[in-house]
Chain A
Amino acid sequence: MEKKRYERPVIKRLETGVPAKFGRPQKPEIMSDIDGVSVESLVNQFGSPLYVYSEKQIRDKYRKAYKAFSTRYPKVQFAWSYKTNYLGAICNVFHQEGSWAEVVSGFEYDKARALGVEGSKIIFNGPDKSVEDLEKAIKNDSPIHIDHLDELYTLIELSGKAGKKPSVAIRINMDTGIYPRWDRFGFNYENGQAWDALNKIMHSGKLELIGLHTHIGTFMLSTEAYRVAAIKMADLARGLKDKFNHKIKYIDMGGGFATANTLKGSYLPGDDITPSIEDFAEAITSALVNAHFSTDELPVLVLESGRALIDEAGYMIGTVLANKRLATGQRATIADIGVNLLFTSFWYEHKVKPAQEVTQFTEPSKIYGPLCMNIDIMRDNIELPLLNKGDRFVVHHTGAYNNTQWLQFITLRPNVVMIDENGQPHLIREKESLEDIKKLEQIPEHLRNFEL
C-alpha cells in the first residue's frame, strides 16, 4: 500500500458565533510552478532560496501600463527606475520595450551607460550628483533633474566651463492632499521656491530648461493626489510660456503607484484596495488634457514607474528549515528566506503559497528567516498550511527593491533567474561565493597570522 503524504497532527477549537465578515476561510492556494516551470525543478537546478522573475509578466505589465497612458494622452515616455531593480537583464527587458533609464546616482548612471543606453535617454535624478557625475551628464546630453539650489549654481558654473548648455529640469514638491508630504526633494510649489528656481534658470541664460519633474510619494493608494499634482505641474508649464514664452519638452510625473502587495497594518489586502494603472493614468492624463496646452506646446508625459511594473513579476522560492512552537503557544516556521534577502518584509505582508499539495488545515504562524537575529521575521502572523521540514513555498510580489536593497549579511546572496517567454529559465545573477567577498578585503601584513 502506498503511504499517504504526512502532515503534522493539529487540533483547533471550533469557535461558534458570528462568522467573519469575509465568510469561511478558503482552502490555501498552491503554487507548484512559475510560468509553467515547476518550483521543484527550479530548486534542483538553481538552489534555494531563489529569486525568480517572469519575463512574460514584466512585458505584459509594461505594455498594459503603456497602453493605459498612451490611449489617454498622445505623447508618453516611460523611464525605467534603476533603483527599483538594476539587474542588467531586468533593465534590458524594459529598454527593449522602449523605456529610457531613470537613475539617482553616478553608479546607476554608469550602469545604464554600460548597458548601452544613450546619454540623452538617461534621466538623472536625486540629491547626490558629484561634479564628475554632472560633467559626464552634460557631455552626454542627459536630462539633469535639479534637486536643490546648490546643484543649480554648480550647473551654472559647469555650463561656463563646458561651453555647452546643460539640459535641465527641476524637481517640484507640493501639497497634493496626502500624508506624509514629501518635501525633502526639489523645490516647493506652494511657497514660491519652484518659481524662484525657474526664474534663476531662465535669467541665467546658462541652462536649457527642458522639463518639470515631480514624484509625490511612494506606494500611493490615492489617484486624486496625482490629479492635483498634474494640475500644479501644468500650471507651472503654462506659467513659463506666459512669463518667458518658453516651451518645455516634458512633464515628468515620477512614479509611486501602489502594487497588489499588502502594507503592514492595512485592514484589507492589497489586491482589493490598490487602484488599477488605468485609474492612475486617467487621473494624470485628464488633468494634463484639461490644462488646454496648444497642440505645439503639448509636453511629453514622462513616467518613472518602478515598483508598479516589476513587483508582481518577481517571486522568491524558499524552503522550510524547521517548525517549532513558541512559548506563547504560537506556531513558528523557520524558512531560508530572511530579511537580508526579502527586505520588503519590513513593510509588506507578503503572500506566501505552498508549492506542494496541502490540506485545508492551517495554523496561525510566524515565519522566521534563518538569521540569528531577533528582527528576522518574514511574516508576523499568517494562517499557514501545515508545511513540513524541506517543503517549498513561493513568496509573491518580491520584484521591487529586493535585489537592490538586499544585504550580504550572515549568508551569501543566492541565484537570480528569469524565465523567458518560452518557459526557459536563465541565470541572470550568479550566487555569491566566499571568494567574491574575500576579493574585496585586505588583511594588513601584521594581522595575517595567529595562533590559538
Chain B
Amino acid sequence: MKINPNIAINENGLLFNPSTGESFRVNPTGARVAELLKEERSLDVIISKIQEEYEVDRYTLEKDIADFIQLLKNNALIQNNE
C-alpha cells in the first residue's frame, strides 16, 4: 500500500493531489497517518507511532486507520497497483 508520492500535505491539514488538482482537508490525526504512509511506513509502525502521540487503544486505532485507508482509496489517493 502506497500513498500517491506527489501529494503535498501542509501543517494546516491541507492535502493537495497534483495529479488530479483536487484539494482535501485532513484532521491532525489524518495528516499524521498520511505523512507516515508517504514515508512508506508499515501499518504496525504507523499504529505504534500514533499510539506514542495520542491517547488511544490499539483496537480503536486499527479499526480507524483501516477506515481512513478506505477513504483514501475512495478519493484515489492510494495507488491501486498493490
User: What residues make up the interface of A, taking CB atoms closer than 8 Å to B?
Assistant: 3-14, 325, 329, 359, 361, 386, 388-389
| Pair B55/A4 contact, Cβ less than 8 Å | yes
Q: Is A359 within 8 A of B27, CB to CB?
A: yes
* Chain B interface size range: 20 to 34
How far, in angstroms, from A84 to B28 measured CA to CA in the complex? 45
Question: Could you say which residues of chain B place their CB within 8 Å of the CB of A361?
Answer: 25, 27
Q: At the interface, is chain B mostly helix, strand, loop or mixed?
A: helix
Total A-B Cβ pairs within 8 A: 71
Interface residues, chain B, with chain A CB atoms under 8 Å away: 15, 22-30, 32-34, 52-56, 60-61, 64-65, 67-68, 70-72, 74-75, 77
Pick the residue among A8, A12, A329 that contacts B64 (CB under 8 A). A8
Which B residues are CB-close (under 8 A) to A7?
Answer: 27-29
CA A389 – CA B53 in complex, angstroms? 19
Name the A residues within 8 Å of B74 (CB-CB). Answer: 329
The 7 closest A-B pairs by CB, nearest first: A9-B30, A6-B56, A8-B64, A6-B54, A9-B68, A361-B27, A9-B29
Q: Which residue of B lies closest to A388 (CB)?
A: B60
Contact between B26 and A10 (Cβ–Cβ < 8 Å)? yes
Question: Given A325-B67, A329-B74, do A9 and B53 touch, yes or no (CB 8 Å)?
Answer: no
Is B24 a contact partner of A12 (Cβ separation < 8 A)?
yes
- Complex: A329 Cα to B70 Cα, angstroms: 9
Which of B22, B27, B61, B77 touches A10 (beta carbons < 8 Å)? B27
Chain A: minimal CB distance from B63 (Å)? 8
Residue of A nearest to B59 (CB): A389
Kindly report which residue of chain A lies nearest to residue B16, judged by CB atoms.
Answer: A14
When the two chains form their complex, are residues A325 and B70 in contact, meaning their CB atoms are under 8 A apart?
yes
In the bound assembly, the distance between CA atoms of A325 and B71 in angstroms comes to 10
Which residues of the partner chain A approach B68 to less than 8 Å between Cβ atoms? 8-11
Measured CB to CB, the closest approach of chain A to B54, in angstroms, equals: 4
Query: Which of B22, B64, B75, B77 contacts A9 (CB under 8 A)?
Result: B64
Rounded to whole Å, the gap between the CB of B31 and the closest CB of chain A is: 8
Given contacts A6-B54, A329-B74, A361-B27, 19 further A-B contacts (CB under 8 A): A3-B53, A5-B54, A5-B55, A6-B55, A6-B60, A7-B28, A8-B29, A8-B68, A9-B30, A9-B32, A9-B33, A9-B68, A10-B71, A11-B34, A11-B71, A12-B25, A13-B23, A14-B24, A359-B28
A107-B29 Cα distance, complex, nearest whole Å: 56
Distance of A12 Cα from B27 Cα, bound (Å): 9
Q: Could you list 13 examples of A-B contacts with CB < 8 Å?
A: A3-B53, A3-B55, A6-B55, A9-B68, A10-B68, A11-B15, A12-B24, A13-B22, A13-B24, A13-B75, A386-B27, A388-B60, A389-B60
